[in-house]
Amino acid sequence: MPKIVFLPHHELCPEGLEVEANDGDFILDVALKNGIHIEHACEKSCACTTCHVVVRDGFDSLEESDELEDDMLDKAWGLEPESRLSCQAKVNGVDLIVDIPRYTVNQVSEAHH
C-alpha cells in the first residue's frame, strides 16, 4: 500500500504526517480523510487552484495532467514543475512526498472582500 508523506505546513499539519493511501485515491481525498484540511473551493471540479500541491517525490508515477488542470495550474501561487491540483492527482502504486504551499489563491473567498 503506497504511503503519502505530507511535509510540515504551518497551519494544516505543523508536524507533517505520513499516511497510507490506496491506488486510485486522489491526494486531496487522502489529506481530508486524515485531518489535513486542504482548501478546495470548487468542490474538486478542477475549476480553481486552492488545492494546489507540489509532489516532491513520486511525481513521475502520477498520470499526466490534462489541459484543464494545466490551465488552472498556470494561475496557482508558487507554481513549480512538480505542481499538481490535489483533487486531480491520483495515487498510482508509488509512495509520494507532498508539499502544501504556504499560500493559495482563493478567488471565491477573495471576491467577497
- Helix residue ranges per DSSP H, the chain: 27-33, 67-73, 107-110
Measured from the Cβ of residue 77, the count of other Cβ atoms closer than 10 Å reads 12
Average pLDDT over the chain, rounded to an integer:
92
CA distances from 52 to 1, 7, 20, 57, 77 (A): 24, 14, 20, 15, 8
pTM: 0.91
pLDDT, tens digit, for every residue of 63-107?
Answer: 999 999 999 999 998 999 999 999 999 999 999 999 999 877 665
Task: For cell 486510485, name the residue.
Answer: 24
Strand partners, 19: 4
Domain coordinates of the chain in residue numbers?
3-110
Q: What is the CATH number of domain 3-110?
A: 3.10.20.30
